[in-house]
Structure 1
Amino acid sequence: MGSPKISRRIMLGRTGLAAAAVGLTLAGCGGGGSASPEASGDAGSSAPLTPVKLQLQWVAQAQFAGYYAALDQGYYKDEGLDVSILEGGPDIVPQDVLSAGDVDYAISWVPKVLGSIEKGAKITDVAQIFERSGTTQISFKDKNITTPGDLAGKNVGSWGYGNEWELFAGMQKAGVDVGAIKLVQQAFDMNGFLAGDIDAAQAMTYNEYAQVLESENPATGQLFTPDDLNVISWNDVGTNMLQDAIWANSDKLSSDTAYQDQTTKFIKASIKGWVYARDNAEQAADIVTKAGSQLGVSHQKWQTNEVNKLIWPSTSGGIGMISDVAWTRTVGIAKGTKNETGATIISADPPETAKSTTYVEKALAELKSEGVDVEGKNFAPLTVTLEKGGA
C-alpha cells in the first residue's frame, strides 16, 4: 500500500488551542489521467477503487481512531474503497454535509441527527459505533455535587450545540428544571472550570476530563487526581443518549444497489479498524497523531483507551448494532426533555428510515465468518498515565 497524501488546514481544536488539523486522503487519479497505485486496486488488479468521503464530527483525534486505523491498515482498500476522511470543526454540521450530498457517510450523535431528520434531512443510522455515552458533568469535591439534584442553584457549564440534552434530561429526572441552574456557555476547554467560574462542567471521558487531570493543582503543585473530583455519569443516571454513529443517505439506500453494497463494505472495514484500535490501542493512538492530531502523546493514548470503553465489550451482538432499548431511550429523551426555552429536540417519533441494521448485520456476518472478534467480551482497558498538559 502506497503512502497516503496529506492536505493540511488550520482549525480551532476542542482544547481551545489553534491546531493544525489534517485531512487524510488516499491519492486519487492525477491530472494527466493516470491512476496512482492507491486508486487502481490491489497489485495485479485492474479494478479501480471506489471514491468514498467520510465527514467526521470533529478534528482528527482518537474519538475517530477506528476510521484512521482502517485507512492506515488498508482495510478500506481491501473492500475496494478509496476513502477520504474529512475533519469537522465548530462550524461543520456532519449531517448537513451528508444531507447536501457532499459526502457519502458522516459521523454524528443520534440526538443531533434526529432533530435534522425532523427538519427534512433524509439520512439513516446504519451502524451505532459508540454503545455508551462519554458525557459527564464534573465538579471539585468541595462543591458537594454528586447527583443531578445537587446542580440546583449552581453554575453549570455546557457547550450547547446539542451536547446539553443528557444533562437536561438528568436534571429533569431529578426534578430540577433548567431555570433552577445558572447555565454557563462553556468554551471548548476547561479553563472556566479550573478558574472556578463553573461549579459543574461538561466533560467527555476521553477529552475534557483528561484535560483536568493534566492540569496542576495550585494547592499542591501536583496534577489533579480523580480523588479531587466528583463525576456524574449519564450512563449511571439513565439519561445517556446514543452518540457516535455512521450515517448514510436514506434515498440512496432505498434505490441504489451499488451504494447499498458500498455501505456494507464501508461498515465492515470501519469495524475492522475499531477492532484494530481495541487490540492495538497504543499503535492506533500513533496513527491518529500521524494523521494530524495535535494532542499530546499521553492524552492521545488516554483518549483511545477511553473511547474503547464506550465500544467494548459490545452487548448488542457486535459493534455497530443498534440496541432497541438505547434507541428508544434516546428518542424518548429527545421528545420529552426541554431546554431553557421549553423546546425539545423532536416533537414526534422519527421515521423508520432513521435507522437500519441491514448493512451492519451483513458486515458483522462477514467478519464473524472471517474469525474477527466483533464483540470484544474479553476487552481489558489499558492503564494510562497522563502527563502535564497531555504531553
Structure 2
Amino acid sequence: MTANQFSRRTFLGGTAAGAGLLLGGSSLITACSGSTEPPPAAPLTPVNFHLSWFDSVQFGGSYLADANGHYAGQGLDVTLVPGGPGVSPDTSVIAGQSIMGISAANFAGQAKADGAPIKIVGVAMQRNPFVIASLTSNPINEPKDLEGRRLGMAFNNQLDLELLSSLNGVDVNAIEVIQADYDPAPLVNGEVDSLLCWLVDLPVAMTVAGIDNTTMLFADFGYAVHSQTYIVTEDTLANRRDDVLALLRGEILGWQDHKADPDTSAQVTVDRFPDAGMDLETETVKAHEFVKLMFSDVTDASGFLWWTDQSVADNIRVLKALGVNVTEDFWDRSLLEEIYAGGPVL
C-alpha cells in the first residue's frame, strides 16, 4: 500500500499576464522575465515498512502518517507491507527488502543471537499486549491452567508460549497447541479452550459481541518483552540513517494524531480497507485501547517509541531464561535522542 502522494502545482499565467497587459508591453516583458517558476519538489524516496500483522487499527498511527501527509512531508513514499502468520518482518528487513520492520524483542532477539546484524530503534508498546483469552465459563486464570487444555494460536507465536511456560514452570508439552485462525470462532464454538492473542484484538471483538471472556495478561506473569519494536539493520543505520530518521518522524507524527483522535484513526483504518470486513465499532474500541498500551508516563516525558534502561535489563533477563542472549547494544536510542532533542512532542 503505497502512501498517497499529494502533488502541488504552481499555476502561472492568467493573473500575472493580465496585469502585464494592463501596464503595457515593456511592463509585460518585465513581468514575464521576472516571474520564475519555483524549482520542482525533490522526488519522494520510496521505502518499504514491513508491519507485523494483518491490516488493522494496530497500525492506525501509520495509516494516519500516510493519510495526513506526514511521510510525504518527510520526503518519503512509504509502502506499508502487511504481515500475518508465516510472514516475518525480521526476514524482510535482514534481506534488505524493507528499510524498517515491526517485530518483538523475542523474535528479533533470536535473529540477533543467530548473527543477524539488526537493532531495535523504537518500542511502541509500553506494556506487552499478549494474553490468553478464554470463556468466563471455562477460564484460564494463570499459566498452569494451560496444561491439559487446548490452546489455539498461530504457529509463529510458539516462541512466546515457550517463554511464558519457562517463566512459570509450565510443561509446554502438556499444552495441546492447535493452529487456529486469528478469530474468536474456534473458542466460541468449543474447538479450543483458549486463544493466544492480543488484549486489544479478539477479547475486544468478543466483548462487543456480548460474549463474556476472561483474559490472562502475559505481563502479569513475568513476560517483560518489548512488543511492536521497530527494527533496522546496522548497514541501514550506517548508510541510510536520514531515511530511518525521516520514517521514524513520520511514524511519531502519525501516532501523535492517533492519540489525539482515536475515533478518526479507526475511521481512516476502516475506510482504507473497505474489503477487509472491519467493524467500525470494534476498531474504535481497539483504537482507544491502543492509546493505553502505547502511551505512558515514559512517553509523556520522553516521546513516543521511547524505552527505559530498566525495561532493557528486564528484557535481557527474560530472554536469557529462554536461551536468547542479547546485550544492551541490541537497543539503539540514538535516533530518538536526535528526534526528541527539542522535547517529547513533534
TM-score interval, smaller chain: 0.7 to 0.9
Which residue in 1 is equivalent to 2:47? Answer: 52
Work out whether 1:124 is the aligned partner of 2:102: no
Question: Judging changes above 3 Å, is the alpha-carbon distance between structure 1 residues 173 and 120 closer, same or farther for their aligned structure 2 residues?
Answer: closer
Question: Judging changes above 3 Å, is the alpha-carbon distance between structure 1 residues 292 and 127 closer, same or farther for their aligned structure 2 residues?
Answer: same
Using the alignment, how far apart are the partners of 1:233 and 1:268 within structure 2? Answer: 31
CA contact (8 A) 1:39 1:48 kept: no
Work out whether 1:311 is the aligned partner of 2:306: no
Residues 19-38 of structure 1 aligned to structure 2 (within 5 Å): 23-27=1-5, 37=7
Deviations 1:168-223 (A, max 9, x none): 333333322212333333332222211223222212122111232244xxxxxxx2
Q: Determine what percentage of the aligned residue pairs are the same residue.
A: 22
Which residue in 1 is equivalent to 2:183? Answer: 189
Gaps of 5+ in 1: 1-22, 28-35, 216-222, 338-343, 373-391
Using the alignment, how far apart are the partners of 1:183 and 1:327 within structure 2? Answer: 30
Work out whether 1:284 is the aligned partner of 2:265: yes
Which residue in 1 is equivalent to 2:332? Answer: 356
Work out whether 1:297 is the aligned partner of 2:280: yes
Which residue in 2 is equivalent to 1:272? Answer: 253
Instruction: Tell me the secondary structure at the aligned position of residue 143 of structure 1.
Output: coil
- Give the CA deviation at 1:155: 2.1
- Give the CA deviation at 1:282: 0.8
Using the alignment, how far apart are the partners of 2:152 and 2:315 within structure 1? Answer: 22
Which residue in 2 is equivalent to 1:33? Answer: none
Gaps of 5+ in 2: 11-37
Work out whether 1:200 is the aligned partner of 2:194: yes
Using the alignment, how far apart are the partners of 2:138 and 2:320 within structure 1? Answer: 32
145, 149, 172: which one pairs with 1:154? 149
CA contact (8 A) 1:268 1:367 kept: no
CA contact (8 A) 1:167 1:234 kept: no
What amino acid is the match of 1:288? T
Instruction: Tell me the secondary structure at the aligned position of residue 78 of structure 2.
Output: strand
Question: Judging changes above 3 Å, is the alpha-carbon distance between structure 1 residues 97 and 52 closer, same or farther for their aligned structure 2 residues?
Answer: same
Residues 1-391 of structure 1 aligned to structure 2 (within 5 Å): 23-27=1-5, 37=7, 46-161=41-156, 163-215=157-209, 223-224=210-211, 228-254=212-238, 256=239, 259-292=240-273, 294=276, 295-315=278-298, 317-337=302-322, 344=323, 346=324, 348-350=325-327, 352=329, 354-366=330-342, 368=344, 372=346
Question: Judging changes above 3 Å, is the alpha-carbon distance between structure 1 residues 286 and 269 closer, same or farther for their aligned structure 2 residues?
Answer: same
Which residue in 1 is equivalent to 2:22? Answer: none
CA contact (8 A) 2:119 2:331 kept: yes
Using the alignment, how far apart are the partners of 1:128 and 1:75 within structure 2? Answer: 20
Instruction: Tell me the secondary structure at the aligned position of residue 142 of structure 1.
Output: coil
- Give the CA deviation at 1:98: 1.2
- Give the CA deviation at 1:44: 6.4
- Give the CA deviation at 1:125: 1.1
Question: Judging changes above 3 Å, is the alpha-carbon distance between structure 1 residues 265 and 148 closer, same or farther for their aligned structure 2 residues?
Answer: same
Instruction: Tell me the secondary structure at the aligned position of residue 315 of structure 1.
Output: helix
Using the alignment, how far apart are the partners of 2:280 and 2:189 within structure 1? Answer: 25
Question: Judging changes above 3 Å, is the alpha-carbon distance between structure 1 residues 205 and 144 closer, same or farther for their aligned structure 2 residues?
Answer: closer
Which residue in 2 is equivalent to 1:220? Answer: none
Question: Judging changes above 3 Å, is the alpha-carbon distance between structure 1 residues 113 and 172 closer, same or farther for their aligned structure 2 residues?
Answer: closer
Question: Judging changes above 3 Å, is the alpha-carbon distance between structure 1 residues 186 and 323 closer, same or farther for their aligned structure 2 residues?
Answer: farther
- Give the CA deviation at 1:233: 0.7
Deviations 1:110-156 (A, max 9, x none): 21111222233222211111111111012223325322222232223
Q: Structure 1 length normalisation: TM-score?
A: 0.73
Runs of 4+ that moved beyond 4 A: none
- Give the CA deviation at 1:166: 4.2
Using the alignment, how far apart are the partners of 2:83 and 2:9 within structure 1? Answer: 24
CA contact (8 A) 1:158 1:186 kept: yes
What amino acid is the match of 2:3? T
Question: Judging changes above 3 Å, is the alpha-carbon distance between structure 1 residues 142 and 92 closer, same or farther for their aligned structure 2 residues?
Answer: closer
CA contact (8 A) 1:127 1:357 kept: yes
The number of residues matched between the two structures is 315
Using the alignment, how far apart are the partners of 1:252 and 1:138 within structure 2? Answer: 38
Q: Structure 2 length normalisation: TM-score?
A: 0.82
What amino acid is the match of 2:336? V
What amino acid is the match of 1:25? A
What amino acid is the match of 2:247? F
| RMSD of Structure 2 on Structure 1 (CA) | 2.6
- Give the CA deviation at 1:351: 7.6
